[in-house]
Chains A and B, each alone.
Chain A
Amino acid sequence: MAITAFVQTLFNGLAIGGSYSLIAVGFCLVYSIMKFTNFAHGSMISAAAFVSYWVCNRFNLGLLGSLFAAIAAGALIGSITEFLAFRRIEKKSASNFYFFVSSLTWGTFVEQLVNNGVGIRALAFPKFYPSLSLKITVFGTKYTIMTNYLYMFVSAVIVLGLLFVFLYKTKYGRAIRATSFDRDTANLMGINVAMTIQIVFILAGIMAGVGGVFLGVKNKIYAQLGSDVVTKGFISSVLGGLGSVYGAVIGAFVLGVVEQFLVYFVGSNMARVVIFVLMLVFLLIRPQGISGVMVKDKA
């Protein structure tokens, strides 16, 4: 493998990993605080991307405008999801099975709405970039990288950076971390648990929105856009160690890079098979993930 190809593949992997990380972290935050798997996460990605597409076309927005539209849409969809699909079940502290059914039902419903909105053919965002790829010269070697990947990577890093500041430097972040560890004690310390859960869904929605725009640019917009990539988000957060935000980020980048190298060596069709085989093997060998946190599901 030539050095040029190696660097380009690595970069592509990191860029794709960036989009996975946005999905994985949102998924992981929800999992940590609710202790259940939100199967509606994918639908939030599709819905936010679709709304962003609609607003972008309506008002002739560029990439930045579309991203802000997606952030607003994601925040709104996240909070609606929590309110309509989970809050009542949460209040009754019902069994995990109800969360499972409720998240699947809600996710399918939202996906269907997007499906009706999109129509028969997948939609494409307008051309955001003057050129599809960029040529960059580093140390005398020329590299070609996809413009969309560059923006995807940079945005993911910025969003993750802001998220970590929020989680570690504000009282809301502390509340999220404390509530994720022990909800009853958090409540007793005067933390507003209901509001904290709502904030987590909003954050997850925002990240789903940002990820959705770039994936929309990459793959076009269709109803199953989210559910096609959300598996990668799930895998990333398990790879990193379920319940650990750091782990989810690391897992996502590892997954992105491994996937791109597989595509390079065995082609994209085989890569799809091999990546899941690797994942299964990894789960058997090290179910606690890279970061080593083993989370027990709600009984």
Chain B
Amino acid sequence: MSRLELKHVYLSFGGVKAVQDFSMQAEEGQIIGIIGPNGAGKTTIFNVISGIYTADSGQIFLDGEEITQLAQHRIALKGISRTFQNIRLFHGLNCLENVQTTLDASSKYNLLDAILMTPRRRKEEKRTRQRALSELEWVGLGEYVLENPENLSYGLQRKLEIARALAADPKVLLLDEPAAGLNPKEVQELMKLILRIRDERGITILLIEHRLELVMTVSERIYVQDFGETIAIGTPAEVQNNPEVIKAYLGEEE
């Protein structure tokens, strides 16, 4: 039984076939890369997995349990977290609070506790706060706890988004172009962080990325998408030498 399995997933928007017959398996602690030109349907695959869109047909399984039709917050609670291509942090909430929002779903106090400021609220707030703090320190944001995300550099905002996703203790982490807009040094740091997530926490990672130096280094297996279809699957070395892939990336020769 695979950690995450997609079977023949299709999704169209009107006449546009965004995802056609996409199947994949990811095991515990694997890093899977998804690459392809813009408009290849990569982010759409993430949106189908995380429940923002529901597949027209096909099935998605997490640890053998079907999650195809679940609402997005249910899928998040089942153990799939994600980051976004265009960073989507909550402005007006500091770094700590951004991470805490993920933990609040599991925080065991109710509205009455919140209004009456009961010890239960205090205890649970302390717990989520501690946990959020330790996630921030784990990704290396220990000194920016009370800073608002809009004041952080791009690289740090990426880390914060990852910390927020990790706070949910996910089984699967979907990273949508985490290296976009980062400088070479930040890409190196991100690479280390991604490997640590796999090695120290055993989380399965799906990685959409245009920066080939990153995706080729960390991925165990790569899916190459073009116009909604999978045109190649293989190890980084296999994919790089695949004529179909070269054609999709460099265009057809005259």
The verdict on B88 contacting chain A, using a C-beta distance below 8 Å, is yes
Tell me which residues across on chain A come within 8 A of B142, comparing CB atoms: none
**A190 and B128 form a contact (CB under 8 A):** no
Closest to A165 in B: B117
Considering only CB atoms, which chain B residue lies closest to A244 in the complex? Answer: B92
Measured CA separation A178–B97 after assembly (Å): 9
Using known A-B contacts A165-B117, A166-B114, determine if residue A181 contacts B93 with beta carbons closer than 8 Å: yes
Within 8 A of B (CB), among A259-276: none
Whether A175 contacts B101 in the complex (CB less than 8 A), given A187-B72, A188-B76, comes out as: yes
Q: Which residue of A lies closest to B51 (CB)?
A: A188
Q: What residues of B have a CB within 8 angstroms of the CB of A172 in the complex?
A: 111, 114
Contacts of A165 in B (CB 8 A): 117
A-B contacts at CB below 8 angstroms, number:
73
Instruction: State A171–B91 Cα separation when bound (angstroms).
Output: 16
By the criterion CB–CB under 8 Å, are A185 and B128 in contact?
A: no
User: In the complex, what residues of B have CB within 8 A of residue A185's CB?
Assistant: 84, 88, 90
B111 touching A178, Cβ below 8 Å: no
Q: How far is the CB of B172 from chain A (nearest CB, A)?
A: 14
Which of A172, A187, A189 gathers most chain B CB within 10 Å?
Answer: A189
Q: Beta-carbon contacts of A138-182 to B below 8 Å, as 1s and 0s?
A: 000000000000000000000000000110011111110110111
Query: Nearest Cβ in chain A — how far from B89, in angstroms?
Result: 8
Q: For the complex, is A61 an interface residue (Cβ under 8 Å from B)? A: no
B168 in contact (CB, < 8 A):
yes
Q: A199 within 8 Å of B by Cβ?
A: yes
Q: What residues on A are CB-neighbors of B92 within 8 Å? A: 177, 180-181
Interface presence of B30 (CB below 8 A) = no
Give the CA-CA distance A190 to B71 in the complex, in Å. Answer: 10
User: Does B111 contact A174, Cβ atoms closer than 8 Å?
Assistant: no
Q: Is residue A191 within 8 Å, beta carbon to beta carbon, of the partner chain? A: yes
Cβ-defined contact, B125 with A170, below 8 A = yes
Contact A187 B97 (CB under 8 A): no
Residues of A within 8 A of B (CB): 165-166, 169-175, 177-178, 180-182, 184-192, 199
Other A-B pairs, 20, CB within 8 Å; known A171-B125, A174-B100: A170-B114, A171-B100, A171-B104, A172-B114, A177-B97, A178-B93, A180-B92, A181-B91, A181-B93, A184-B88, A185-B90, A186-B101, A187-B72, A188-B76, A188-B82, A189-B76, A189-B164, A190-B73, A190-B104, A191-B101
10 pairs of A and B residues whose beta carbons are closest in the complex: A190-B105, A171-B104, A170-B114, A185-B88, A178-B90, A190-B73, A189-B101, A181-B90, A190-B76, A178-B101
Can you list 18 pairs linking A and B with CB atoms under 8 Å apart? Answer: A170-B125, A171-B104, A171-B107, A171-B124, A171-B125, A172-B111, A173-B114, A174-B101, A177-B92, A177-B93, A178-B93, A181-B90, A182-B88, A187-B73, A188-B76, A189-B102, A190-B102, A190-B105
